Structure 1
Amino acid sequence: MVRLRLEAGESRWRYAVRLLVVLLCAAALLQAARPGVYSARTGAALIADGDPAGRQFREQQEYIADELDRQVPAGARVVVDSADGNWKLRITELATVRGIVVVGDGGDLVVRVEFDPAAPHGVRVVTRRAGGA
């Protein structure tokens, strides 16, 4: 605990400035902790909620990431082929996080996600050589 008290020979003005600095530091610390608290609360709510749609989406993301690891060789450059901009962004993020180089054109492989109810988690990751059919 920080104890602030007027020291011998210290003016009230200096004491007030010290007190203000302590209050500003405390406020900054609380502001810095807000995003972490928000993330923890959101994560706990997602786990506790048990939302089936949210769970299916997370399982799809994990499955796609695992398939990217399995199907894309190290050092390969990939082009993400998706008409849906959201899925293109998601696949690009998943690939980038795993160290896969994603390019706009001229890649070695083309990666696409197809929605198939018979596939694991309802999605299938299709990888083909660039320039091929």
Structure 2
Amino acid sequence: MGIDFLPDKPIYQQLIDRITGDIIRGTLKPGEKLLSVREYAVEAGVNANTMQRVYRELEQMGITETKRGQGSFVTEDEEKITVLRDEMKEQLVSSFLQSVEAFGFTTSEIVQHLQERGGVND
């Protein structure tokens, strides 16, 4: 199967983003068991060592927990998931605003355009 990865970002980071995105969207629920490292590596079409790094970093971030002999699970700490969601939102908005400024658009121009498209509710 495999995933189409972007060439300008490390694969392990793209996998972290993918899993955190699934958690933020609710595709992966608090307390839900993740695939094993090997299963996810096969599904993603990457080396098991890459997946092991992904799982290790997710655990260091406090987003997952490893239970010896049982596997890795999404944290049940709703506060950590809320913080993750807020951090991701801030990163996306900051990146977007940097792009807007780089092209010389004003915030009001962008807000107006989004409202015309129906992308912003009052």
- TM exceeds 0.5? no
Taking CA–CA contacts closer than 8 Å with sequence separation of 6 or more, which of the two structures ends up with the larger relative contact order?
2
TM-score (norm 2): 0.31
TM-score (norm 1): 0.29
